[in-house]
Structure 1
Amino acid sequence: MAEKVIIMGGGPGGYVAAIRLNNMGFETTLIEKNRIGGVCLNIGCIPTKALYKSAEVYNQFSKLESYGLDLEGTVKPNASKIRERKNDIVDTLVTGIEKLLSSAGVEVIYGEAKITGPNSLEVNGEMMEFDRLIIATGSSSFIPPIKGVDQEGVITSTELLDFTEIPEELVIVGGGVIGMEFAGIFASFATKVTVLEALPGILPGVDGEIVKRLKPLLKKKSIDVKTSMMVKEIVQENGKLKVISEGAKGPVEVYGDQVLIATGRKANVKGIGLEEAGITVGRKGIEVDENFETNIKGIYAIGDVNGKWLLAHAASAQGEFVAEKIAGEHPVIGKFVPGCVFLFPEIASVGYTEEQLKEENIEYLTSKFMFGANGKALTMGEGEGLIKVISDLDYKIIGVHIMGPHASDLIHEGLIACEKGLVADDFKDLIHAHPTLPEAFFESVMGLKGEAVHMVKPRRK
């Protein structure tokens, strides 16, 4: 008789684990309290990228003259049509995953599950037993204890994604990935955007040089970024929301039609019975070992709920890993997890940043190639940005950081280099097509040893 495996949560970690397990012969049940696809598909990655594309196309129209094109009349964003397009994309993908689960033979139960013991849980008033359990309950928006944060017009990304009109003024509390992506989207639609970040800089974890080069581009797009700002209170004033912050030079007041709270996410660990099962929870989420197993044998936690990487692709990788582990295989999971920020231009990173290397006292080399010297980028009208490659002293690539066109696609050549321990010479005989954007990565890698043909050599001192 096949082992019974239950998965709590139908997001990118849960549904991938369910399909993989069922394909390997396990009796698999997936429990989802809302909608298959989780945060990423329904109220995260996919809908924001749908809005991003609408903003990107709108941006292109503002630059038609630079392409030698004339347009009679005006182009303006239509909030309801943008939202409808976003919803259609989400619905298509959700339906597709539902069909995948059905074709794989996974039993799907809609309801809220609560663990009742090391081998049982309750859902919709019924008790269910399991041999193995995978907790994949994800995360939700973290709302800081700011005075006035609960009033109308103060929203999270979930509400903003369902916008019915484009705000004239938007204040964003939090300069991480979520906050900055929404800043870029709505600034493109001519919204006046102000970002308030408590830390000294935005996009923590992104290579410092990339962030430094991004700042003037944000300013050019009229995104006002204020760092080292502690938000104290939000109040209604003359039909607007006034956000009162404390900065290095004293109080700062900014106004908006809406205030987006984008101060990070927290693991969904409340009310799911972790205490009853004796599962250990840490500061970031459920504590797991190198196999993503909790302190209770046979119970695993994957994705955002374990707090390791709050990324959909990391959750999916963990889901496959755990499924194969349960099946008695010897899976391997990547050490390097790429991250992308969908701004204008895009940012993507994998591996070490310079800041991390300095903190760990690791010696390194860097090489940079500017998109302004790449033929394909210039034909696209997107010559801003660069590809930065970091290696150790033996030229082994340990970090790649990109700001520029299609950075989210280009980063995967860097991922392979980091994950497989490739050195600069491994790329020397790889002929990159011309004219393409990946040529910029090739030139940056060749620059590590001073062998890049299209890079101006620094003057000797």
Structure 2
Amino acid sequence: MPDFDVAVIGAGAAGLSVAAICSGLGLSVALIERGRMGGECLNTGCVPSKALLAAARAAAEARQAGRFGLRLPPPEIDWAGVRAHVQGAIARIAPNDSAARYRGMGVEVIEAAGHFAAPDVIEAAGRRLSFRRAVIAAGSSPVIPDIPGLDGVPWLTNETLFELEEPPGHLVILGGGAVGIEMAQAHARLGCLVTLVEAAPRIAPGEEEELVHPLRAALLAEGIALHEGARLARVEQLEPEGPQAGAGVVLHLADGTRIAGTHLLLATGRAPRLAGLDLPAAHVAATPQGVRTRRDLRSVSNRRVWAVGDIADPEGLGPRRLTHAASQHAAVLVRSMLFRLPGTRLDYAALPRVTYTDPELAQIGLTEAEARAAGHRDLRILRWPLAENDRAIAEGRPEGMVKLVATSRGRLLGASLLAAGAGEMAGPYGLLIGRRLPLSALASLTLPYPTLAEAGKRAAGAFYAPKLLSPFTKRVITLLKHLP
């Protein structure tokens, strides 16, 4: 008889969700974690980065108070206080992810590295644990790019950035995706010089292009230096120029540009943590993107094994390295692994993603370019600028837009939002796309006034305006006006 019904490797967002659900349903569960409980999201990702962004936003609001007729002195940045806020946020959330809490649920938490020893056995802490089912939730780690000279200079990733005891004098960020952009704005607002280098033609590659342009303008207005379409030739150490100066880094771009900074942050993507799992011993197939699974997240080569979270590479979909994707994976796994429901398939059609800059950039479903590449024709593109939204005007934040991509029959394929708090506005669009509801469901929704969410309703209403104001409708109204 197996030692456990379910053995989970990894106590990040995905692994914790799976362990809690399985234990709650009465199964015996082993949860194996070699690092800190809560994984990347709690300790070095979502939570500390959003806490840092909150501190940075408060500093920016103090500087911008003059537009409301308020006269405030420039904010003084107490870096130790900022760090205390960040670490305090982690500490307040940590008990929810703690080993003690999960042991209280009946989960056997094994705080050690685990690896497969056979198709149905995991070794951890000197023990051989047999299982009925195993779930690989080992997560991902920052990609360290192959750059000449990088091995000779100090560098940071999100796993070490929040440990800095002093603010960077000049933070050079390699990578203009969500992490790079967020940390660029946060540190600029906290008084650091920031330069961001992106190899793609523009920052935020893959996001809705016409919404990236105003976000780019906002970053430039805050003093962030952007180098887009930049190819990095090599990196070298910058020697200190005085007895009190610390060594820095110099980036040499292929076009001859030289960028010197005190700190280098690598934000060039993430890779699955496959090393050390000994997947061949379990006959578990993998790709460079992660554990190969079917759409139900079951391994294509070992029916006893599933993969969830950053490490999963579902066929035809690929990985989605987002905390809320891990939660979605856990829900799919429950239907697939526990209830054995046939036809269970992962679907990312309504999966949102958010870049938590100010303004925030949110994407739900397909961008216009993605919709056209997928073969959708006769699209309706609907826009509503926040410059015509009463709440945005009242708060002095008229920059941004809601852009909807819909079929000619009124089915929403994608929504792009650029606004303060755009992530908080994303929910209804995911519901429309996921449940295949018509745009009329949003256009007819009664929303409180004034809110930014009205911009989406107005964009959806624009789909029906031509019909409502058509000559036919006007003739009908002309006839109906004679009725008593």
> Which sections of structure 1, spanning at least 5 residues, go unmatched?
454-461
Which one-letter code corresponds to 1:325 in the other structure? S
Question: Aligned match of 2:275 in 266, 270, 277?
Answer: 270
CA distance in 1: counterparts of 2:263 and 2:454, whole angstroms: 43
Which residue, out of 261, 264, 272, partners 1:256?
A: 261
**2:120 partner amino acid:** N
Query: Do residues 403 (structure 1) and 418 (structure 2) align?
Result: yes
Q: Distance in 1 between matches of 2:460 and 2:6?
A: 46
Q: Identity over the aligned pairs, expressed in percent?
A: 26
Residues 202-221 of structure 1: pairs in structure 2 closer than 5 A: 202-221=203-222
Query: Which residue does 1:289 correspond to in 2?
Result: 294
- Which residue of the partner structure matches residue 311 of structure 2? 305
Secondary structure of the structure 2 residue equivalent to 1:450: helix
**Aligned partners of 1:288 and 1:278: how far apart in 2?**
13
CA contact (8 A) 2:174 2:264 kept: yes
Q: Does 1:356 align with 2:370?
A: yes
* 1:343 is the counterpart of 2:357: yes
Match of 2:161 in 1: 160
Q: Deviations over 1:121-168 (max 9, x none)?
A: 111111111110000000001001112223453211221122212222
Contact 1:444 1:452 in 2 (8 A): no
Tell me which residue corresponds to 1:459. none
102-111 vs 57-66, greater mean Cα deviation: 102-111
Shift of 1:410: 0.3
Which residue matches 1:6? 7
Which residue of structure 1 aligns with residue 472 of structure 2? Answer: none
Cα displacement (A) at 1:334: 4.7
Asked if 1 retains the 8 angstrom alpha-carbon contact of 2:62 and 2:74, the reply is: no
Please name the residue that 1:53 is paired with.
Answer: 54
What is the aligned partner in structure 2 of residue 78 from structure 1?
78
Instruction: State how far apart, in whole Å, the 2-side matches of 1:100 and 1:310 are.
Output: 26
CA contact (8 A) 2:120 2:131 kept: yes
CA contact (8 A) 1:79 1:163 kept: no
Matched with 1:457 is none
Q: Which amino acid aligns with 1:30?
A: L
**What is the alpha-carbon distance in structure 1 between the residues aligned to residue 335 and residue 437 of structure 2?**
27
State the alpha-carbon separation in 1 of the partners of residues 401 and 444 from structure 2. 23
Letter in 1 for 2:9: M
| CA distance in 2 between partners of 1:114 and 1:192 (Å) | 43
Report which of the two structures shows the higher radius of gyration computed on alpha carbons: 2
SS across alignment from 1:134: strand
TM-score, normalised by the number of residues in structure 1: 0.93
Cross-structure match for 1:231:
232
Task: Give the whole-Å Cα distance in 1 for the aligned partners of 2:52 and 2:322.
Answer: 19
Map Cα deviations across residues 345-369 of structure 1 (whole Å, 9 max, x no partner). Answer: 1111011111112223322111111
Aligned equivalent of 1:439: 454
SS of equivalent to 1:290 = coil
Aligned to 2:482: none
Contact 2:153 2:237 (8 Å CA) reproduced: no
Residue in 1 aligned with 2:329?
Answer: 318
C-alpha spacing 1:441/1:451, structure 2 compared with 1 (3 Å): farther
1:406-425 matches, cutoff 5 A: 406-425=421-440
Q: Provide, for residues 45-74 of structure 1, a one-character-per-residue CA deviation record: whole Å limited to 9, x for no partner.
A: 111000000001111000111122222x44
The CA distance in 2 between the partners of 1:350 and 1:63, in whole Å, is 30
- 1:391-427, CA deviations, whole angstroms, 9 ceiling, x for partnerless residues? 0111111100001111011011111111111222223
Per mean C-alpha deviation after superposition, the further-off stretch among 257-266 and 220-229 is 220-229
Q: Which moved more, 1:237-246 or 1:252-261?
A: 237-246
Are the aligned partners of 1:5 and 1:132 in contact in 2 as well (CA < 8 Å)? yes
1:320 deviation in Å? 2.8
Q: Kindly tell me the number of residue pairs found equivalent between the two proteins.
A: 449
Choose 109-118 or 428-437, whichever is displaced more: 428-437
Distance 1:397 1:365 in 2: 9
Q: Report if the CA contact (8 A) 1:133-1:298 is conserved.
A: yes
Change (3 A) 1:196 1:59: same
- Tell me, in whole angstroms, the C-alpha distance in 2 between the residues paired with 1:22 and 1:221: 49
1:140 is aligned to 141
Contact 1:30–1:107 at 8 Å: present in 2 too?
yes
3-state DSSP of counterpart to 1:150: helix
- TM-score, with normalisation over the residues of structure 2? 0.89
Name the SS for the 2:236 alignment partner: strand
Provide the C-alpha distance between the structure 2 equivalents of 1:204 and 1:101, rounded to a whole number of angstroms.
39
Instruction: Give 1:214's aligned amino acid.
Output: L
Show structure 1 runs of 4+ deviating over 6 A.
none
Of 234-243 and 86-95, deviating more is: 234-243
2:464 and 2:444 map into 1 onto residues whose CA distance is 15
- Write the distance in 2 (CA, Å) between the matches of 1:19 and 1:418: 29
- Which shifted more, 2-11 or 141-150? 2-11
Given that 1:167 and 1:191 are in contact with CA atoms closer than 8 Å, whether structure 2 keeps it comes out as yes
Residue 322 of structure 1 aligns to a residue whose secondary structure is helix
Contact 1:10 1:36 in 2 (8 A): yes
Q: Is the 8 A contact 1:153 1:257 kept in 2?
A: no
**1:386 maps to what in 2?**
401
CA distance in 2, matches of 1:451, 1:148: 60
Judge which range, 313-322 or 422-431, deviates more: 422-431
Is 1:40 matched with 2:41? yes
Mapped partners of 2:9, 2:334: distance in 1? 14
Deviation of residue 329 (structure 1)? 4.7
| CA apart distance, 1:319 | 1.8
Q: Indicate if the aligned counterparts of 1:391 and 1:399 stay in contact, CA closer than 8 A.
A: yes
Tell me the distance in 1 between the aligned counterparts of 2:374 and 2:20: 40
Distance 1:150 1:113 in 2: 29
What pairs up with 1:237-252 in 2 under 5 angstroms? 237-239=238-240, 240-246=248-254, 250-252=255-257
Identify which of 421, 431, 441 aligns with 1:426. Answer: 441
Aligned-partner Cα distance in 2 for 1:398–1:21: 34
